[in-house]
Amino acid sequence: METKLNAIEDKRTSGAHISFWTESNPSVLSQPLRKSTKTGVVIIGGGIAGMTIAYTLCKRGIRVVVVEDGFIGSGESGRTTAHLVTSLDDRYYKIEKIFGEKGAKLAADSHMKAIDYIEQIIRDEHIDCDFKRVDGYLFLHPSDKEDSLEKEYQASIRAGVKVEMVNEIPGMLNKERKALKFSNQGEFHIMKYLNGLCAVILRMGGEIFTETHAEKIQENGIVSSEGFAIAADDIVVATNAPITSMYIMPLKQFAYRTYVIGGLIRKGDLPAALWWDTGNHEGHSDIFPYHYIRTAAYNDEYDLLISGGEDHLTGLADANGATEEHRYEKLETWTRQHFPMQEIVYKWSGQVMESMDCLAYIGRSPGEEMNLYIVTGDSGNGMTHGTIAGILIPDLIQGIDNKWKDIYEPDRFKLFKSGKTFLKENVDTLIQYFKTNPKDTDAENLKSLQKGEGIIVKLNKEKYGVYRDDEGLLHWVSAECTHLKCIVKWNNDEKTWDCPCHGSRFSYKGEVMNGPANDALDYHSEEYPDFVEAKHKN
């Protein structure tokens, strides 16, 4: 599989692989914060959530500053597959069980309105981003129970979602099968959309600072790593995993890695549509890893088939059955069984945050006195959840009543996804990881560390992550995650250090790529550092 790699120094994307979206339409804004300033609302994070919140606030005449420590879309938004759905990742029959019929109706309503809002913004602001209304087909994974489609059909109708039961799925190789057809879903090119939003926000007087890390969040605003302050009345943390909640939010959600391949199909061979299976129910997991597929325009001759899935808990790929790199092969095998596909030209992975109860957490940050708002727990529907935040958070800031407030309240405590096993599953896998984690090695073993690989070593009672780059140079980081000190694990696929406890991720140089951690790992770049030498002398 010859696919495109990102220069791993480049923070336009959070890992070694580059997505189709980021490669075909990279963010061009490069404007770091160079002096302290003052605003109405400061927003941390330039993904779909932060940018939509900024857009709505600007539109309502409120002064806004966005800070983004990479580039616009360089977090998970640039790694998405951009299905815009009312057929949510978690089934309505589950949501109904947790939130009641009224809650499920509100959830469906919010996602419908989110797609409408995206469509309206695109129309009003003339953003050319390949937006289309399409049909989506949900079909049974062989491991799922026969009646699950019927249950979902009934629950979707009760929730007010437009759905019908069909016996044929357009586009699939084995098309004669039962499925739920959800009409009026959507798809778009996320980077074209974000670049469009960016231009509109700047035009309306909003300010956006890229390559600007919000290091400190305080009562009256934020301070960047370079020491520049932004004073604000309200602060929004739209960093995907909040960097402000040390204990509460990391315990209410779990980080999963998910994988994508992009393969060529002859133009017009497949209809524009979305396809999803109901997920593998065989494992002991309550998060059923499922496949999600769409097409996108590629060039004059070909479209791209974009297929995703093969998820696992972050940092625990091996404990969950296959290494990170092996996930693409599994995905390719599955995709070729179900869809026509020629050469694979893209592969990338990304991170989703699974909330305990199927819906995102959007609202005031729990346990905070200050005017601090968060959006997290995307549950695989972050395009629409981020857009819902773009409506709900401005309403909360302005004191406008919003009927979705309670279902998205971050402080809520609902039963786990299926009653009890969700938390147990994650704890069990972590325990398994700590048991099977290879014994720490010593400096001698570094000699066998190949270019492009990473390893944990223990020296003078300290654990270090060591990565050998393509030139053979060693890069050392402290292996203790700066969130709550779990030991990070090397992700050889994206060349990052991933924390299995709550999903923080760091570059090989220790820079934070995903929260909840917000501080870098200590970093040294030395072929033979003093502490190694000292150990050898003893």
- Of the candidates 86, 185, 239, 278, which one interacts with ligand FAD according to CB under 6 A? 239
- Of the candidates 26, 45, 242, 262, which one interacts with ligand FAD according to CB under 6 A? 45
From the list ligand FAD, ligand FES, none, which binds 206 (C-beta under 5 to 8 Å, kind-based)?
none
- DSSP class per residue in 136-153: EEEE--TTS-TTHHHHHH
Contacts of 31 (CB under 8 A, 6+ apart): 208, 209, 210, 211
Phi-psi region of 83 (alpha: psi -120 to 50; beta: other; left: phi over 0): beta
From the list ligand FAD, ligand FES, none, which binds 484 (C-beta under 5 to 8 Å, kind-based)?
ligand FES
Which residue's CB is nearer to ligand FAD, number 213 or number 468?
A: 213
Q: Does residue 457 belong to the site contacting ligand FAD (CB under 6 A)?
A: no
Q: How far is the CB of 410 from ligand FES (least distance, A)?
A: 18
Helix H or strand E segment including 101:
helix 92-125
- Of the candidates 17, 79, 189, 468, which one interacts with ligand FAD according to CB under 6 A? 79
Which residue's CB is nearer to ligand FES, number 47 or number 515?
A: 515
Site string for ligand FAD, 340-379 (x = CB under 6 A): ----------xxx----------------------x--x-
Quick one: how far is CA 175 from the chain centroid? 31
Which residues partner with 432 through β-bridges? none
Select the span of 41-49, 144-152, 428-436, 494-502 touching ligand FAD (CB under 6 A).
41-49
* Strands, sheet with 37-38, edge to edge from the N-terminal-most edge strand: 37-38, 229-231, 221-224, 214-218
Which residue's CB is nearer to ligand FAD, number 366 or number 386?
A: 386
Residues engaged in binding ligand FES (CB under 6 A): 250, 481, 483-484, 486, 499, 501-504, 516-517
Q: CB–CB of 372/381 below 8 Å?
A: no
CA distances 126 to 122, 187, 391, 535, Å, are 5, 16, 20, 63
**Burial call 258-296: b when 16+ CB within 10 Å, e when fewer:** bbbbbbbbeeebbebbbbbbbbbbeeebbbbbbbbbbbb
- Of the candidates 23, 68, 277, 494, which one interacts with ligand FAD according to CB under 6 A? 68
Q: CA angle at residue 163 from 158 to 168, to 5 degrees?
A: 145
Q: In sequence order, which ranges of 6-83 are alpha helices (DSSP H)?
A: 20-24, 48-59
Side chain identity, residue 446: L
- Of the candidates 70, 103, 262, 279, which one interacts with ligand FAD according to CB under 6 A? 70
**Cis check: omega of the bond before 516, within 30 degrees of 0:** yes
Select the span of 32-40, 45-53, 126-134, 151-159 touching ligand FAD (CB under 6 A).
45-53
- Of the candidates 103, 171, 309, 386, which one interacts with ligand FAD according to CB under 6 A? 386
Which residue's CB is nearer to ligand FAD, number 74 or number 478?
A: 74
Which residue's CB is nearer to ligand FES, number 156 or number 253?
A: 253
Q: Look at the block and give the residue holding tokens 């009312």.
A: 86
Select the span of 64-72, 129-137, 150-158, 502-510 touching ligand FAD (CB under 6 A).
64-72
Q: Which residues bind ligand FAD (CB under 6 A)?
A: 44-50, 67-70, 74-77, 79-83, 213-214, 238-240, 243, 258, 260, 292, 308, 350-352, 375, 378, 380-384, 386, 515, 518
